[in-house]
């Protein structure tokens, strides 16, 4: 997969043509995770692709920002074994499926929810596994709609979604995203470039996140990159963990394609970087 090109191009699509995606393409998207990257290797997941008739009306008023369900011809549903870091693993795998879909010309958008068990009941899905992702899938109807507020008081009801002229949601600058050895010591982009890491951080900041809140910060220490995520009051634990898995995929895939293979270790590295209370360390990887 050409990660750089796809990460650069992908955006959340909220209005879809009615046109259905062909069975062949749906099959390719669904099965791509089997060969694709995983964050945690021993977690069993199941990927389903469902049609609008099986999902949309059932979840109207239940899933989506402020319960505004996104209408699409298809949806990806992921069920996962409930094990340590299983939601982050779904974020990582789900975003991989979304990049694969875009490679095949198909657009997507994450759809949030509060209670996966309620969604399973509404969809009459019965499994020991947990429902961990709901993703709209189809062809972009090209109506510009991007959430473009980093203001966390922002109320993203569908009617209020901020229309961005170029339909590209904004992102913070790399210098605000990466600290050197200690919280608050902002990285210099020339320094990151000479270490060969500028690309990976530049692509990581393009990661989609709940409400486009961009909760990720990195600390670059000797031979290690530490990831901290902000805990925002208006974002639930599920959303926080999906956001974590997505940025891990973005950073890792660019390091893998530009430098060498690396992987994330989940959890705290056990070193004090003066991280403020609203952030928590969620993982680190060797670079
Ligand atoms: C975990 C998660 C849940 C999301 N849920 C919704 C949602 O329910 N409705 C919606 O319109 N967008 C949703 N989004 C999309 C984000 O708002 C979007 O990724 C962000 O605004 C950045 O825009 P972009 O993806 O176009 O770059 C979600 C994104 C993530 C990562």
The full length of the chain comes to 287
CA dist 47 and 224 (Å) reads 33
Which atom of ligand 1 approaches the CA of 207 most closely?
Answer: 27
Task: Among 8, 109, 171, 230, say which to mutate for ligand 1: greatest number of ligand atoms within 8 Å of CB.
Answer: 109
CB atoms inside a 10 Å sphere around CB 235:
20
Q: Which of 26-40, 89-103, 135-149, 257-271 has the least mean pLDDT?
A: 135-149
From the centroid of its chain, how far is CA 28?
Answer: 20
CA dist 260 and 130 (Å) reads 34
**Of all residues in the chain, what percent are helix, strand and coil, respectively (each to 5)?**
35, 20, 45
Q: Is the CB of 239 under 6 A from ligand 1?
A: yes
User: Spelled out in words, what is the top-level CATH class assigned to the domain 3-149+155-160?
Assistant: alpha beta
Q: What are the C-alpha distances in Å from 273 to residues 142, 175, 182, 251, 252?
A: 44, 17, 5, 20, 22
Q: Output the six-digit token pair for 221.
A: 């220490």
Q: How confident is the model at residue 147 (pLDDT cuts 50, 70, 90)?
A: low
Q: Is the CB of 241 under 6 A from ligand 1?
A: no
Q: Is the CB of 235 under 6 A from ligand 1?
A: no
CATH 3.40.109.30 fits 174-286, yes or no: yes
Q: Is the CB of 108 under 6 A from ligand 1?
A: no
Q: From edge to edge, which strands make up the β-sheet containing 224-230? A: 178-180, 216-221, 224-230, 279-286, 264-266
The answer, yes or no, to whether residue 63 has pLDDT greater than 60, is: yes
Average pLDDT over residues 154-164: 40
Pairing of strands 264-266, 45-51: unpaired
Q: Is the CB of 131 under 6 A from ligand 1?
A: no
C-alpha torsion 117→119→125→127, nearest 10: -30
pLDDT for position 148: 54
Q: Is the CB of 64 under 6 A from ligand 1?
A: yes
Which atom of ligand 1 approaches the CA of 11 most closely?
Answer: 26
Q: Whose CA is nearest to atom 20 of ligand 1?
A: 212
The strand ranges marked E within the chain are: 45-51, 74-80, 107-110, 130-138, 178-180, 216-221, 224-230, 264-266, 279-286
- 107 forms beta bridges with 138
- 137 forms beta bridges with 74, 108
CA dist 91 and 166 (Å) reads 26
Q: How far is the CA of 181 from the centre of ligand 1 (A)?
A: 31
Domain boundaries, the chain: 3-149+155-160, 174-286
Q: Is the CB of 146 under 6 A from ligand 1?
A: yes
Q: What are the C-alpha distances in Å from 117 to residues 56, 61, 64, 123, 185?
A: 17, 15, 15, 10, 43
Q: How far is the CA of 199 from the centre of ligand 1 (A)?
A: 23
pLDDT digits (tens, 9 = 90+) for 238-268: 999 999 999 999 999 999 998 888 999 999 9
Q: What is the pTM of this model?
A: 0.93
pLDDT digits (tens, 9 = 90+) for 74-124: 999 999 999 999 999 999 999 999 999 999 999 999 999 999 999 999 999
The answer, yes or no, to whether residue 145 has pLDDT greater than 90, is: no
CB atoms inside a 10 Å sphere around CB 278:
12
Neighbouring residues of 241: CB distance < 8 A, sequence distance ≥ 6:
85, 87, 88, 91
Which atom of ligand 1 approaches the CA of 208 most closely?
Answer: 19
Task: Please determine whether the domains at 3-149+155-160 and 174-286 fall in the same fold group of CATH.
Answer: yes
Task: Among 210, 214, 215, 242, say which to mutate for ligand 1: greatest number of ligand atoms within 8 Å of CB.
Answer: 210
């Amino acid at each position: 997969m050409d990660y750089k090109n796809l990460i650069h191009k992908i955006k959340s699509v909220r209005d879809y043509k009615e046109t259905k995606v062909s069975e062949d393409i749906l099959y390719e998207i669904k099965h791509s995770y089997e060969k694709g990257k995983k964050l945690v290797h021993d977690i069993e997941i199941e990927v389903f692709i469902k049609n609008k008739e099986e999902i949309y009306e059932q979840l109207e008023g239940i899933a989506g920002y402020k319960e505004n369900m996104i209408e699409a011809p298809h949806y990806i549903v992921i069920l996962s074994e409930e094990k340590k870091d299983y939601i982050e693993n779904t974020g990582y795998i789900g975003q991989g499926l979304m990049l694969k879909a875009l490679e095949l010309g198909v657009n997507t958008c994450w759809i949030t929810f509060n209670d996966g068990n309620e969604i399973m009941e509404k969809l009459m899905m019965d499994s020991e596994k947990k429902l961990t992702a709901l993703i709209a899938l189809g062809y972009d109807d090209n109506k510009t709609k991007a959430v473009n507020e980093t203001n966390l008081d922002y109320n993203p009801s569908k009617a209020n979604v901020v229309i961005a002229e170029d339909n590209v949601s904004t992102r913070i600058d790399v210098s605000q995203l990466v600290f050197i050895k200690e919280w608050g010591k902002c990285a210099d982009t020339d320094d990151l470039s000479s270490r060969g890491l500028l690309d990976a951080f530049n692509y990581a900041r393009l990661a989609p996140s709940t409400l486009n809140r961009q909760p990720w910060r990195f600390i670059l220490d000797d031979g290690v990159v530490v990831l901290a995520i902000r805990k925002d009051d208006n974002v639930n634990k599920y959303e926080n963990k999906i956001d974590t898995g997505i940025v891990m995929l973005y950073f890792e895939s660019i390091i893998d394609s530009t430098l060498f293979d690396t992987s994330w270790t989940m959890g705290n590295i056990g070193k004090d970087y003066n991280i403020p209370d609203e952030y928590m360390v969620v993982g680190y990887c060797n670079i």
